[in-house]
Amino acid sequence: MTLNKPHVLLTGGAGYIGSHTYVALVEAGYQPVILDDFSNSHPVVLDRLQHLTGQRVVCERGDVLHTGLVTEVLQRHGCVAAIHFAGLKAVGESVEQPLRYYRTNVGGLVSLLQAMETADCRSVVFSSSATVYGDPAHIPVTEQSPCMPESPYAHTKLVCENILASLKGADPSWRVGVLRYFNPVGAHPSGLIGEDPSGAPNNLMPYVTQVAVGKRAKLRVFGNDYATPDGTGVRDYLHVSDLAEGHVAAVRALLAREQSFTVNLGTGEGTSVLGVLDAFERASGQPIPFEFAPRRAGDVAKYFADVSMAEDLLGWRATRSIDDMCRDSWRWQQNNPDGYRTAGNAPTSPVHSLRAGVASPALTGGVV
Ligand code: NAD
Ligand code: UDP
């Protein structure tokens, strides 16, 4: 009975991290409600979520910048909390289009918070990013490390964190969970949902999987002269299913306690680019062609998280290994060489027809 389950709004819930969090929330006994404009996702994901959870998916199509729509959705579903994933996330693009990034990421959060205030729903989990730390002087990175964002994207995340802190300061009834993600990779072990970048991937793991599946000739390893054991960049890769479970822990903590928090979500372990390649070759059983290329502008040599606060406050820690991440990424890519647009993946359920009659076309909701 979905009526008795606590309903949680997932803005951007059709995207990469949101879809995995949807599954984790259902498994934990919540009823997630997706609000997504599908600007960077595909409706086929809804069929996959229905298949994975065995229950009707609740999804509203709309833009989080439409405060009235968000309010209406929160009220109609009686949401007790929201997780805010909706936003733009490409660092390079944010340098070229800063206003678009500020409007969507900062404006989107303000719109959501206004809607939540009207709907009397004051528990929110925010998708922040380790990019707020910039190039950290000390590793592992703790939540007390100075925030020195370098890109407009990272600045939008820090501005959002500051807005949430101001709101909490003005009205202590707000419960705010800020999650600073390190490097989410991997896919659901079913191979049914995963990361579906449009165009050439910027990030390492989706690029590697596209090389493995033959869509790209070879990986360019950006820099082999860093001060790291093998000279290539080191990051804290985190399985997206662990990350999804971190959101469940965050919602649970917010609803159970009066406390707000800002925590890192990572594994606490660093893996180099060559380390990822090795793991991927083991997972896929095939060599991955690569060449060394110059360093990528703006990259830092090495960082990984101190994850003790997440464990202390949320009782959460990552359990999946880099081998698990590679195996699941590979299964997703093999099953869906062109992501959700792979031939034969056309949406099947009637749910994708938009519901008519809600205010205006821009506010039309598609209920799945
Ligand atoms: P994603 O692009 O796969 O998902 C974002 C979803 O939001 C998409 O489905 C998109 O259609 C939707 N969306 C975008 N603008 C919207 C709007 N105005 N109204 C409604 N929906 C909108 O991204 P993701 O990787 O799942 O990331 C989710 C969040 O996590 C983002 O805020 C991102 O900045 C943050 N984050 C991601 C990473 C990462 O490496 N993926 C790392 C750190 C933080
Ligand atoms: N990287 C690479 N080739 C690529 C993409 C990334 O060598 O095509 C390297 C990158 O320089 C960094 C690591 O892989 O050292 C992780 O990069 P990603 O973009 O995935 O994450 P971020 O740099 O944002 O942490």
> In angstroms, rounded to a whole number, what is the distance separating the alpha carbons of residues 202 and 306?
25
**Ligand 2 center to 222 CA (angstroms):** 7
Q: Which atom of ligand 1 is nearest to the CA of 131?
A: 43
Q: Which atom of ligand 1 is nearest to the CA of 64?
A: 19
Tell me, what's the pLDDT at 258? 75
Q: Is 239 helix (H, G, I), strand (E, B) or coil?
A: strand
> In angstroms, rounded to a whole number, what is the distance separating the alpha carbons of residues 220 and 238?
22
The ligand that comes nearest to the alpha carbon of residue 38 is 1
Residues with beta carbon inside 6 Å of ligand 1? 11-12, 14-18, 36-41, 63-65, 85-87, 89, 104, 108, 127, 129, 181, 184
Q: Are 205 and 195 in contact (CB under 8 A)?
A: yes
Among 205, 265, 273, 274, residue to substitute to test ligand 2 (most atoms within 8 Å of Cβ): 273
Show pLDDT as tens, one digit a residue, over the chain (368 residues): 466 899 999 999 999 999 999 999 999 999 999 999 999 999 999 999 999 999 999 999 999 999 999 999 999 999 999 999 999 999 989 999 999 999 999 999 999 999 999 999 999 999 999 999 999 999 999 999 999 999 999 999 999 999 999 999 999 999 999 999 999 999 999 999 999 998 889 999 999 999 999 999 999 999 999 999 999 999 999 999 999 999 999 999 999 987 899 999 999 999 999 999 999 999 999 999 999 999 998 888 999 999 999 999 999 999 999 999 999 999 999 999 999 988 676 655 443 333 322 333 322 334 44
**Ligand 1 center to 61 CA (angstroms):** 15
What is the Cα 201 distance to its own chain's centre? 16
- Give the residue from 9, 5, 49, 50 showing the smallest Cα distance to 28: 5
The ligand that comes nearest to the alpha carbon of residue 270 is 2
- Domain architecture of the chain: domains with CATH: 7-355 (3.40.50.720)
150-181 burial code (b ≥16 CB/10 A, e <16): bbbbbbbbbbbbebbeebbeeeeebbbbbbbb
Which residues, other chains included, contact 90 with Cβ-Cβ below 8 Å and sequence gap of 6+?
Answer: 153, 202
Q: Which atom of ligand 2 is nearest to the CA of 273?
A: 14
Q: Where are the alpha helices (DSSP H) in the chain?
A: 16-27, 44-53, 67-77, 91-96, 98-101, 108-118, 152-170, 204-212, 240-256, 273-284, 308-314, 322-335
Q: Which atom of ligand 2 is nearest to the CA of 207?
A: 8
**Ligand 1 center to 272 CA (angstroms):** 25
> In angstroms, rounded to a whole number, what is the distance separating the alpha carbons of residues 136 and 204?
21
Count of CB atoms situated within 10 Å of the CB of 299: 12
For residue 103, the 8-state DSSP code is I
Question: What residue type is assigned to position 170 of the chain?
Answer: A
Which residues, other chains included, contact 257 with Cβ-Cβ below 8 Å and sequence gap of 6+?
Answer: 175
Query: Is-catalytic flag, 226?
Result: no
The ligand that comes nearest to the alpha carbon of residue 293 is 2
Q: Which of 16, 133, 153, 303 is catalytic?
A: 153
**Ligand 1 center to 84 CA (angstroms):** 9
Torsion, Cα 159 306 251 362, to 10 degrees, reads: 40
